[in-house]
Structure 1
Amino acid sequence: MVATPPTIIIAHAAFHQPAHYINFTAALDEVGLTEYRIPQLPSSSLAPPAKEAFAQDVAVLRKTIRSCLTSGRDVLLLAHSYGGIPLSDALADIPQSTERDHAKVLGVVFVAAIVPEEGESLAKAMKTGVAEWVRTEGSVCKVDDPASVLFNTLGDEAALTEAVEHIRPQALSSFTAPAKTASWRYYPCAYVKCKKDSSTSTIDQEHMIEKLQRRCEWTPTVAELESDHCPFISMPEELAGLVVKLVEDAE
C-alpha cells in the first residue's frame, strides 16, 4: 500500500444510502484504505425532490470530489449502478490535477454500474430497457421485492433484513434526466461485473464494458465477482481486494 492512500469516493446506487456500504468501508479499513466518502445523493431519500434530483446529485458529488482533491489527497471513484450517471457529469469540470500537491483523480471503478454516453439517461443507457421490478408512484420509484432483485446472494438473514430496511424511494426524475457528458472516458476505468446480479443483467453489464473498451482513452480493467447487485454487502472483502489492487496499479 502506498504511503498516503487515496480517498475513495462512492457514488451510491439508486434506492440506496450510505448505510448499505458499512461492511465495505470496514473491509477498506482492513486493506489500508482508511479515507472514504459516501455522500448521500438527494435523489434517494424518504422524500426525494420531485424535480432537479439528478442535478442535485451531480452537485453533491462534484463538491465532494473537489473537497477531497483540494485537501491534497488523490481520489479513486467508485460508481455503483445509477451512481455512474451523475458521477460522469460531476467529473466534467474537475481538473486533471490540482495545484496543491498535484492531487488527482486516479480513475473510476464501475461496479455493476451504468456507463453513460452523452445524452443518455438511465432508461436509455440500459440495453434491456426499463426494469420490471421498478414501480412508479407519482414522482418517485420504489423497488418490488428488493431481497430478490438487489440482495439475492446475501445469505445472512439479519444482514438481508437490514439491507432491505435501508432501501429508500428514488426520484423518478433522476432516471429520466440525461447525462450531459461522458467524462469517464478521460480517466483510467475499471468495471466489476457482478455475475449473479438480478437487477442489472449480464447483457447490460457487458454493454457497459463494451462502451469502456470502445471509448475510454485507457484500456479498461475488467473483473468479475460471483455477486448480486451489491457486492458492497455480499462480498465486501473481495471487492476491497480488487480496489486495493487497482490503487496499487494506478500508483
Structure 2
Amino acid sequence: MAHNIAILFITGSYSLPAAYQSFIDAISKAGYEINTPHLPTVGLRSREGRPGQGPSMYDDADLVSRELADLVDRGKDVVLIGHSYGGIPMSQATKGFSKKERQAQGKAGGVVHLAYYSALVPPLGGSAESLLSTIAQEKRPPISIDADGWMLIEDPAATAAMVCQDMPGDDAAEYVRGFTKHSARSFMDKLTYAGYEDIPSSWLLTEQDLAGPPPFQREMIATIEKASGAKVDVTSIQGSHICHVVKEKEFYAWVMGIIGKLGE
C-alpha cells in the first residue's frame, strides 16, 4: 500500500544520518518515505568537520526547506521530526509549507505535523545557546572549538554518561566517538520563524535525559503552547537523550502513533 505521508527527520547536532539508520530502515519497511538530510552544520565523518568556516543554522534550515519543497510538490503530507538541535532548523524551515497555507493556495501536500524529540525549541529571537545557557556548565559536554568554528566533543566517555547513560558503557562511548564536529555558529543563530505557532505539534519527553532534563523540556513545551494557543501532544518515555537506540521499539511506536492519528 502506498502512503501519502512522508517523514522528514532532522538530526541532532554532531550526528550523521547513519546514527538513526535502524529507525530509518523500520519506517521504510513500513512503507513510508523517509528522508534524513545530512545537515551542513554536521561534519563529514567521525570527529571531523568540513573545509572552511562552520555553516549557520539558517544553512540547515535552507536544506530542510529544499527537502520539504520536493516532498510537498509531489503532494506529500509531511511529518517533520526534529531531534535535539534539529528542532531549531525544523521550526525555522516551515514557512510557506504548512498544509493550511498550501490548501489556501489550491496546492496539494504540506507539513501536517511537527514532532519534537527531546528537542531544542526557542521562542522567536532565541537560539540553541540561549536555551543551553540555562543548564549548568558542568552538566554540558566538554568541547573544544577550532579556528574555523567547529566544535569537538573532547571526552566521548564523559559525554556518553550524559547523553546515552542507559547504553552499556563501551557501546555508549563508541556511539559518541561516532559524533562529527559541529558548527559553533549554528548554536548562536536566532530563530526568526516559528513553525510551531500554527502547525500541530507532538513531543517525546525523555524522562531519563541528562542532556535535556525533563524540566528543561517542559519549559520548551510551554513555549510552543503559549505561542500556538494549542496543547502539545506529549508522550513520556523512560529513556535517555538517545532513546531511539536503546528504546528503539518505543520510539518507533511513538512515530507510528503520530501517523495513525493523522489517519494513516
Distance 1:217 1:4, change over 3 A: farther
Residues 2 and 31, structure 2, Cα contact 8 Å, conserved in 1: no
Residues 82 and 117, structure 2, Cα contact 8 Å, conserved in 1: yes
- For 1:65-80, list aligned pairs within 5 A: 65-80=68-83
Aligned partner letter, 1:233: V
CA offset digits 1:46-94 (Å, max 9, x no partner): 2245254222111111111111111222110001000111111111232
| C-alpha distance in structure 2 between counterparts of 1:38 and 1:197, whole Å | 23
1:118 is aligned to 2:117: no
Residues 54 and 150, structure 2, Cα contact 8 Å, conserved in 1: no
Offset of residue 101 of structure 1: 7.0
Q: Normalising to structure 2: TM-score of the pair?
A: 0.85
Partner of 1:135: 143
Residues 27 and 236, structure 1, Cα contact 8 Å, conserved in 2: no
Q: Secondary structure at the match of 1:56?
A: helix
Offset of residue 166 of structure 1: 2.0
| C-alpha distance in structure 2 between counterparts of 1:211 and 1:73, whole Å | 28
Partner of 1:246: 258
Partner of 1:62: 65
Partner of 2:108: 102
Offset of residue 44 of structure 1: 1.1
| C-alpha distance in structure 1 between counterparts of 2:169 and 2:25, whole Å | 17
Partner of 2:194: 182
Offset of residue 113 of structure 1: 0.2
Offset of residue 116 of structure 1: 2.0
Residues 77 and 105, structure 1, Cα contact 8 Å, conserved in 2: yes
| C-alpha distance in structure 1 between counterparts of 2:133 and 2:231, whole Å | 22
> Which runs of 5 or more structure 1 residues have no equivalent in the other structure?
none
Offset of residue 100 of structure 1: 8.3
Q: Normalising to structure 1: TM-score of the pair?
A: 0.89
- For 1:136-151, list aligned pairs within 5 A: 136-138=144-146, 139-143=149-153, 144=155, 145-151=158-164
1:22 is aligned to 2:21: yes
> Which runs of 5 or more structure 2 residues have no equivalent in the other structure?
none
Offset of residue 195 of structure 1: 0.9
| C-alpha distance in structure 2 between counterparts of 1:224 and 1:91, whole Å | 26
Identity of aligned residues (%): 19
1:34 is aligned to 2:42: no
Offset of residue 163 of structure 1: 2.1
